[in-house]
Structure 1
Amino acid sequence: MDKALDGIKILDLTQYEAGTSSTQLLAWLGADVIKVEQPGRGDPGRTVMFGSPEKDSAYFLGFNGNKRSITLDLKNDDHRLVFVELVKNADVVAENYAAGVLERLGYDFKALSEINPRIIFSRIKGFGTYGPYSNYKSFDPVAQAAGGAMAGTGEPDGPPMKPGPTIGDSGTGLHSVIGILAALIQRRSTGRGQVVEVAMQDAVVSLSKTSMCGYLETGESPPRRGSKVTGRAGSGVFKCSPGGPDDYVYITALSTRRNIWEGMMKTIDREDLEGSPLFDDPASNAEQINEVIQEWASSVTKHEAMAALGGAGIPCGAVLNASDIFNDQHLKERGMISPINHPQRGEFEVIGCPIKMSDSPVEIKPAPLLGEHNTEVLSEVLGYSNKQIEALSL
């Protein structure tokens, strides 16, 4: 079956996560993503978090599925000629090197557009390419700090905390995908490419808009609140049986209607509270109501709590850890836990694509080995002979 982005060719110079998450999503949607890596080393993400030269890391596998890998030394004259030929055949060049790296190699947007006027140049930087911070380096926690996410995360009397998800990396990658797709559409009418730039700090600020609304209303930065929803009954995390570190359920019962509250009390076996004055003004009685809910939550598991409340129409979610996620039947049925067969890892599971398209289903494929597709890409895309490929010593 045809894919949404069939025919789109992307040269992927990205590494680690901010850029690779972007190009992987495009690959999932059908683009031919050719990952250009340094011979002998490749993307540094291959060896981080328990990876090794003999075994690519789960981290690398998680952000590079559905891609092809070739090895080129962009300081080698013969390899540079190959890269130029690939640029001529590409729609997008994507990179997330530190500021100035690609420019020093002679491949800024001006140079690339002279090779291919239709090329779209996607670049991800920590703080962008202009502004007072533009030369500063960044990783995910830096972007989360400078983008406002950490200031709003943590307990009221504690220090700022980094949110668990890597929103500075993968959140930036999502913004980059949107920009690339928009540029591809605009190119249909203009016939020319353009630069798509996303700064990690900018992306985190954009994702933090809700937490900044308090400042816009009052002129003061809102305090950290942990997981609590101030003044809201039945909202927050409640500890469940058997009391382990992740045995919690998050509930959001944002209603002022008595019948909703009494329906919830019935669900948690507290019909005795029908007609209770507690529900005349739930906000004022939040502490007492939450104590009632906590007493019940302590007697059930987080999965039982979610099943009971979710089945009764009350928004809630068990606090799922990594083990829970990879064993969750709902996520498996939706393809979010996807089995692959990897040449080094054998049978392995990776996180799948969250975008479900009725006419462009995603087939999850394993991440490539370093240089796995050298011969395939050079012969298929550029028409090189075996003799020409051997002469390159890739």
Structure 2
Amino acid sequence: MTEQSTGAWVERAGALRGIRVLDLTRILSGPFASMILADLGADVIKVEDTKGGDDTRHWGPPFLGEDAAYFHSVNRNKRSLSVDLKSGAGLDIVLRLADTADIVLENFRPGTAERLGLGYAALSARNPRLVYGSVSGYGHTGPLSGRAGYDAIAQAMSGAMSVTGVKDGEAVRFGIAGADLGAGMWVTIGILSALWSRESTGVGQHVDVSLLDGQVSWLTYVAQNYFASGVTPGRFGSAHPNIVPYQGFSTGDGEIMVAVGNDGLWRRFASALGLHELVDDPRFATNPDRVTNRDVLLPLISAALTARSAVEWSDLLTEAGVPVGPINTVAEALELPQIQAREMVVDLPHTVEGRVRTLGSPIKLSGTPTTLRHASPTQGEHTSEVLAALGLSQDEIGRLLADGAVR
């Protein structure tokens, strides 16, 4: 679907063209998932309450117009239907939409959707082809399933925070909401898999993803190191527990990140730094040697790197074939020519603001590319349009608006 300047929505080719998503989510994990689906061409109807709408509309400053920048970050390409789920008329509208949807996405605390009459069992009984995606803090099974979920708590409980931060410092959470965003990606993968399965079975299924599970799955080699050694992993700052040197270093005027992933790269790196005597030093000849002797090696590397600027070292090491990059600020990263060339910063039309600058999609499909069509909707912007498509008359829509069942 795409939105023209007239405000009418028309079909546009995309990998998920013809797929309709009824999005009951708010905050970050669910909206991030539904935005991915929308970018891939799905028609996403974002259901918001009739009062404040999605909580993140108010999570500022900064604001872009009436809505917080936070809200704009994960709600592009969607249509907004503002409805009171606690009213009979409002609930009936959502049920009718679920009957025609391919996907329902929700991130309520487990049990809430069921109490509203919008749980998987109820909706799939009406629409057996429905793919129903749930994101919650702890999942729909297990002793903690009834608890509310928060990104920072999932990061903490999963062990991810325990390996994030400097060696002798306190544990810190990621600078981004890794648990929320990770769960959003996992549920998207599950939904797409369920859609494919439906092609052969004719029926949908429930996709149950939790923030905690998603974070634990990201432990990968950190967990495997523990399984293999029995040693509880600790913090290494920007360094890697299994590879040396693989971390950030200070130069004469700034910081760079170096990734020396094999012994051949080590020889190039040491030579480029002028540390020729270390190239064949038996203490550092192989990666296991360098990991064992990291406390001896790293000060030697740090001392050598202070002789030149970050730009000089980046150029010199790149020429030598060593992976290296500056540790950029967010502003510097967004201005990178590579980021611009990949269309990872875009300006999208917005109904009120005219244009809104936001991030692009990292998914590059050659045949059915993602399309970034419109910035985030205003609250209830498409309520009348969605209701009219359901077959309601203008008089019926007017009564629903007057009664407060919709906005």
TM-score of the alignment, normalized to the shorter chain, above 0.5: yes
Match of 1:384 in 2: 392
Residues 102-251 of structure 1: pairs in structure 2 closer than 5 A: 102-229=113-240, 233-242=244-253, 247-251=254-258
Q: Match of 1:249, as an amino acid? A: I
Structure 1 CA distance for aligned equivalents of residues 176 and 65 of structure 2: 28
Partners of 2:182 and 2:215 within 8 A in 1: yes
TM-score, normalisation: structure 1: 0.90
The secondary structure found in structure 2 opposite 1:88 is helix
Matches for 1:1-394 after TM superposition, within 5 Å: 2-50=13-61, 55-229=66-240, 233-242=244-253, 247-257=254-264, 260-261=265-266, 263-265=268-270, 267-268=272-273, 270=274, 273-274=275-276, 276-281=277-282, 282=284, 283=289, 290-291=298-299, 293-295=301-303, 297-364=305-372, 365-379=374-388, 381-393=389-401, 394=407
- How large is the Cα RMSD of the aligned pairs? 2.3
Cα pair distance change 1:303/1:137, threshold 3 Å: farther
Post-superposition offset of 1:50:
1.5
Counterpart amino acid of 1:195?
H
Pairwise CA distance, 1:256 = 2.7
Q: Following TM superposition, by how much is the alpha carbon of 1:336 offset from its aligned partner in structure 2, in angstroms?
A: 1.2
CA distance in 2, matches of 1:73, 1:52: 25
**Paired residue secondary structure (1:323):** helix
Change (3 A) 1:377 1:306: farther
Deviates more, 1:131-140 or 1:289-298: 289-298
Q: Deviations over 1:272-291 (max 9, x none)?
A: x54x2553332457566544
Distance 1:264 1:277 in 2: 10
Query: Deviations along 1:321-359, whole A, 9 cap, x unmatched?
Result: 211122111111101112223344444321211111001
1:116 Cα shift? Answer: 1.4
> 2: distance between equivalents of 1:157 and 1:286?
16
1:53 CA displacement = 10
Percent identity (aligned): 34
- Comparing 193-202 with 52-61, greater Cα deviation is found at 52-61
| Larger CA deviation: 190-199 vs 50-59 | 50-59
State how far apart, in whole Å, the 2-side matches of 1:114 and 1:231 are: 50
Worse-superposed segment, 169-178 or 348-357: 348-357
CA distance in 2, matches of 1:135, 1:152: 27
Number of residue-to-residue matches in the alignment: 383
- Please say if residues 14 and 371 of structure 2, whose CA atoms lie closer than 8 Å, have aligned partners that are also in contact: no
Give the Cα separation in 2 of the matches to 1:211 and 1:230.
8
Unaligned runs of 5+ in 2: 1-11, 402-406
CA contact (8 A) 1:95 1:124 kept: yes
In structure 1, distance between residues paired with 2:266 and 2:211: 42
Q: Deviations over 1:30-51 (max 9, x none)?
A: 1101001001311001111326
Gaps of 5+ in 1: none
